[in-house]
Amino acid sequence: MYICPMYSSELIKGTLRTIVLNLLKENGRMYGYEITQRVKELTDDKIQITEGALYPLLHALEASEDLETEVEFIGKRQRKYYRLTKQGKATSKKKIDELREFMETLQILLDANKGTTHGLIN
């Protein structure tokens, strides 16, 4: 799904939807290439979204009416800009909250294990 020079794909599998929705929430409207570049830029190349993963997701989000598109012509070719719909904004908030909560829970779990380990040593 991803090319991740730093992280294994298993580690961040399932977060692509949230990453894309969050980017569109922050940036208004974006096109495919722009999304891949923005992710690379923000993560210092640690996460790179492949086109093979991005476009199926964008089309699925459009089909589920979370995204709407605007087409602009650049010479002969079309450029599709994606933006969140009203429903997409709610989905985005839900997904981001869910991920944040998951990360907090994971942190608690990791800290708890650390505490147990220390306890055993002491």
For other proteins, the closer of residues 27 and 107 by Cβ is 27
Amino acid identity for residue 85 in this structure: T
Cβ 54 to other proteins shortest distance, Å = 9
Binding site for other proteins (CB under 8 A): 31-33, 50-53, 55-60, 63-64, 71, 74-80
- For residue 22, give both structure tokens: 């969050």
Name which of 51 and 98 has its Cβ closer to other proteins. 51
Q: Give me the least distance between CB of 108 and other proteins, in Å please.
A: 31
Which pair of structure tokens corresponds to residue 70? 């605007």
Phi, psi of 47 (to 5 degrees): -120, 125
Nearer to other proteins, 31 or 89 (CB): 31
- Shortest spacing between CB 117 and other proteins, in angstroms: 37
d(CA 21, CA 95): 8
Residue 59 has a CB neighbour count (10 Å cut-off) of: 14
Are the CB atoms for 49 and 16 separated by under 8 Å? yes
Of 74 and 121, nearer to other proteins (C-beta) is 74
**Neighbouring residues of 11: CB distance < 8 A, sequence distance ≥ 6:** 4
What's the closest the beta carbon of residue 47 comes to other proteins, in angstroms? 15
